[in-house]
Structure 1
Amino acid sequence: MTKLKIGIVGCGVGGMAAALALARKGCAVTLLEAFEQPRPVGSGLLLQPTGLAALRALRLEDAVRAAGAPVQELIGHDSHGRRVMALDYADWRPGAHGVGIHRAALFDALHAPLAPAGVEVVTGARITRLEDAARPVLHDEAGRSFGPFDIVLVADGSASTLRGALKPRARAPVYPWGAVWTNIADPDDRFAGALRQVYHRAEVMCGALPVGLGPDGEENCTAVFWSVPVADMDAFLAGDFARWRDQRLAPLWPGLAQALAGRNDWAGFSRAIYRDVSVGRWDVGACALIGDAAHGTSPQLGQGANLALMDAAELAERLAATPSPAALKGWQADRRRHVGLYQLASKALTPLFQSRGWFWPAVRTFGFTPMSRLPGIKQLGVLLLTGTLRLGRFPRITRP
């Protein structure tokens, strides 16, 4: 590959994966991060076979598997004990599974090889302006300039500050529901092997995801989440923890409430807020959006990190074959044929699991749940779960 000079804004999953993949292809990569100390945000996530294939291309799959925990099933019940969802990876491929992992462990796996690969990481660089999309220069709030670059990738997440500069008509409204997350120890493996969820109508969703190593290296951790309307989040976290645990969580999921019995307050909980990102084409001149900055959506399908990893791995392959900004057009067109399916499915599913009133829970109970068990529909659900539903063939680099 011609030694392209590439600037990447954002030290999240997509930004770091792209930086590593491109540096290893011979590019001169500068990764610009707003915070003085880059850090992961949130708790657990579920890596699918597609995301694991991208990590294999980055030579990180073994390290990530060692840090995470295998997940063979997704199981969901409502507050009446009725089964809402049951998806088994073995229905896609015998022996297949996902990997639950703490965001800190994935962050460390991606961050550690950056410097050895030759990536220049600049921290404390909050980029506020992009000049000249054809030969881009980046400016931060301290008045510093970086570039010019041959290509700039904007990977600063669903709340991107640069997206509007590239795509003025882009929309990224906040979803009405967010979540609070924490980690618990699970020495007896009570939550092992599956992503488990419990729903109360569509107003509450709680879940437990085994993630392996915790943020400080502790073993047998499980990430726990509870959905909360964004408008109520401050009041929720200012409320009485014990009352929530004993009066709201325990009736829905006694075992999970018991696992939190040693907690006295909300210490250790983090917030998660999601956006519905719609931008059309991701590229403008020599610039492109990548990861959640391009296609953030609700977490119903849990695909955010996987899609960002695939964005990065497939872009590096494209630029290896065509080392110029012209490669961005074909890359984003191909990726949008994959990502668009997940954006559409997430929008369709979100009201069934996170909304107010009786209508959407009734649709879920009497329509979605029975249909999801039919052979053809069940296979479609498994393809969605594994990340393998795609228009067109998978590139070799991300083929599970």
Structure 2
Amino acid sequence: MPTPPPRIAVIGGGPAGLTFARVLQRHGLPVTVHERDRDPVDRAQGGSLDLHRDSGQVALTAAGLLDEFFAASRPEGQALRLLDRAGTVLLNAPADPDDRFKPEIDRGELRALLLGSLEPGTVEWDRRLRAAVPLGDGRHRLDFTDGRSTTCDLLVGADGARSAVRPLLSDAEPAHSGVVFVDVVLTDVDRAHPELAELIGHGMTFALDEGKGLLAQRNSGGVIRVHAAFRAPSDWGRDLDRGALRAVLLEMFADFGPVLRDVLHRGEGPFDVRAITALPVGHRWRHRPGVTLLGDAAHLMSPFAGQGANLAMLDAAELAERIAAGGPLDEAVAAYEERMFPRSAEAAARAATGIEDCIGPGGPAHAFAHFQAITAGNPQRT
């Protein structure tokens, strides 16, 4: 009698969990993804992602979705600008229309692409993990807040910064980086805010001063998302409503140019406040049979290396392909972890340096060197 395939359960339906499920299914292996969202449109997915040729695109190739990604992505979104607080352009790195080094795609579009590739019923929605109970031999019982339970031979935590699976492997918790983001969105920018749309361009624009900046990113559909970034305690702004947040930010960025300040004057919301957190650089754990982590659950870092989603998807594809290759399940997981640890440590170190370069005391001068190094990494960019 043939050996039945392992029962694999994934916690988290983000890019990592969905990529992992897709690659497993391409190899004929069953998998279930448990996602706390009530349905695919339960909440907005946020801004856009650049998927890199040597990581995110490798994962999409393993998933058989690279052509669909290129059809939905925006090569022009790779453009990068660095401005000083007055709006003077210090660095301008445009992108060619056929540049496939790291095209942008909206998070919602990427999620829809991955979801649409999965077998019906793969994702179980509205499933929030309450407890994972070890049963021995690497098996776990998963208890959910709705009262349901299931068992698995491999538990994969792809559940992000506040992972409920991570405590099975590590006592590490994300720590505040010292930087806070306030998120602002503008819509219909080419018609309603043409001067701002022209200044920001088609990709990512950083307008920086010492210890603060406005980080603007063009999304599809005439949307620009902006992060007002500055150094503050993790609980900053907790008691401020939208009007008070706008007033405080206008005062904080009073020395920025008028076009840049228009982001804060005209921003439609949501004015969500987020403390930027990270796991310790080089975070790792002693291998334990039957459980592992992907993406932010394993190596949460600041966004200033541009690697979070890329590494998450690469993690997912590599783990799935090692499992699909056959052999003992535990050996496949251990081999994945040993390859992932040094790769994520290197990226996390770059992210920690990047946040200091961009939102630190050096201001635009340090950021200029940081972004020159980024653009130099693409042989198609000048």
Q: Write the letter of the residue equivalent to 1:73.
A: A
Cα distance, 1:384 vs. partner? Answer: 6.2
For residues 229-279 of structure 1, give each alpha carbon's deviation from its aligned partner in whole angstroms, at most 9, with x where no partner exists.
Answer: 33223245444466467655575253344466655xx64344444321243
CA separation of 1:260 and 1:347: change in aligned 2, threshold 3 A: closer
Q: CA deviation at 1:124?
A: 2.9
Q: 1:124 to 1:261 in 2, by over 3 A?
A: same
Deviates more, 1:190-199 or 1:179-188: 179-188
> Following superposition, which runs of at least 4 residues in structure 1 exceed 6 angstroms of deviation?
383-386
- Checking the alignment, whether the CA contact within 8 Å between 2:157 and 2:164 is kept in structure 1 is no
How far did 1:154 drift?
A: 0.6
Q: CA deviation at 1:121?
A: 2.0
- Residues 1:106 and 1:369: Cα distance change in structure 2 (over 3 Å): closer
Instruction: Work out the CA distance in 2 between the residues paired with 1:226 and 1:254.
Output: 15
1:287 maps to 2:272: no
Count residues in correspondence.
359
Partners of 1:86 and 1:289 in 2: how far apart?
38
CA distance in 2, matches of 1:314, 1:31: 17
- Aligned equivalents of 1:122 and 1:282: distance in 2? 31
Check conservation: 1:76, 1:198, Cα contact below 8 A: yes
TM-aligned CA distance change 1:272 to 1:178, over 3 Å: same
- In the alignment, the residues of structure 2 paired with residue 67 and residue 282 of structure 1 have an alpha-carbon distance, to the nearest angstrom, of 40
Structure 1 residue 44 displacement after superposition: 1.1
Cα distance, 1:97 vs structure 2: 4.3
Q: Contact between 1:30 and 1:122, CA under 8 Å: does it hold in 2? A: no
Q: CA deviation at 1:343?
A: 0.5
CA shift in 2, pair 1:57/1:223, >3 Å: farther
Match of 1:33 in 2: 35
Partner of 1:77: 83
Residue 229 (structure 2) aligns with: 227
Q: Does 1:58 align with 2:67?
A: no
Bigger Cα displacement from structure 2, 313-322 vs 125-134: 125-134
**Structure 1 residue 10: deviation in Å?**
1.1
Specify the SS of the correspondent of 1:341: helix
Establish whether residue 300 from structure 1 lines up as the match of residue 289 from structure 2. no
1:5 positional shift:
1.7
RMSD over aligned Cα atoms: 3.3
Q: With structure 1 as the length reference, what TM-score do the two structures score?
A: 0.77
Q: Residues 44-86 of structure 1: CA distance to partner in whole angstroms, max 9, x if unpaired?
A: 1332323233223323334444444332332222325576665
How far apart, in 2, do the equivalents of 1:172 and 1:193 lie?
A: 33
**What does residue 215 of structure 1 align with?**
none
Distance (Å, rounded) in 1 between the aligned partners of 2:244 and 2:140: 50
Q: Secondary structure of the equivalent of 1:176?
A: strand
Partner of 1:173: 175
8 Å contact kept, 1:45–1:302: no
Aligned with 1:201 (options 182, 189, 210)? 210
AA in 2 matched with 1:319 = I
**What SS class does the counterpart of residue 58 from structure 2 fall into?**
helix
Task: Give the secondary structure class of the aligned counterpart of 2:182.
Answer: strand
- Judged with a 3 Å threshold, the aligned counterparts in structure 2 of structure 1 residues 160 and 206 are, in CA distance, closer, same or farther, namely same
> Can you give the 5+ residue segments of structure 2 that lack an aligned partner in the other structure?
none
The answer as to whether partners of 1:160 and 1:293 remain within 8 angstroms in 2 is yes
> Structure 1 regions of 5+ residues with no counterpart?
213-218, 387-400
Equivalent in 304, 310, 324 of residue 314 of structure 2: 310
Aligned to 1:333: 338
Aligned to 2:351: 346
Tell me, yes or no, if structure 1 residue 141 matches structure 2 residue 150. no
Q: Tell me: CA distance 1:246–1:345, structure 2 relative to 1, closer, same or farther (3 Å).
A: closer
Asked whether the 8 Å contact 1:9–1:154 carries over to 2, the reply is: yes
- The residue that corresponds to 1:396 in the other structure is none
- Alignment check: 8 A CA contact 2:184 2:264 kept: no
Letter in 2 for 1:361: G
Tell me the residue number matched to 2:99: 95
Tell me the SS of whatever aligns to 2:317.
helix
* Whole-angstrom CA distance in 1 between matches of 2:309 and 2:128: 23
Q: CA deviation at 1:173?
A: 1.5
Task: Decide which moves more: 289-298 or 105-114.
Answer: 105-114
Letter of the structure 2 residue corresponding to residue 354 of structure 1 = I
Match of 1:113 in 2: 117
Determine the structure 1 residue equivalent to 2:165: 162
Amino acid paired to 2:157 = V
Asked if residue 277 in structure 1 is aligned to residue 285 in structure 2, the reply is no
Match of 1:126 in 2: 129
The code of the aligned residue for 1:8 comes to V
Please state how far the C-alpha of 1:174 moved relative to its aligned partner: 2.9
Cα distance in 1, alignment partners of residues 91 and 61 from structure 2: 30
Partner deviation per Cα, 1:136-159 (whole Å, 9 max, x = no partner):
222223443211x22110111011
Q: Which residue of 2 aligns with 1:361?
A: 362
Change (3 A) 1:282 1:307: farther
Q: TM-score, normalising length from structure 2? A: 0.80
SS of the residue corresponding to residue 112 of structure 2 reads helix
Contact 2:16 2:295 in 1 (8 A): yes
**Residues 106 and 219, structure 2, Cα contact 8 Å, conserved in 1:** yes
CA 1:304–1:64 in 2, change beyond 3 Å: closer, same or farther? same
More deviation, 318-327/295-304: 318-327
Is contact 2:87–2:257 with CA below 8 Å preserved after alignment? Answer: no
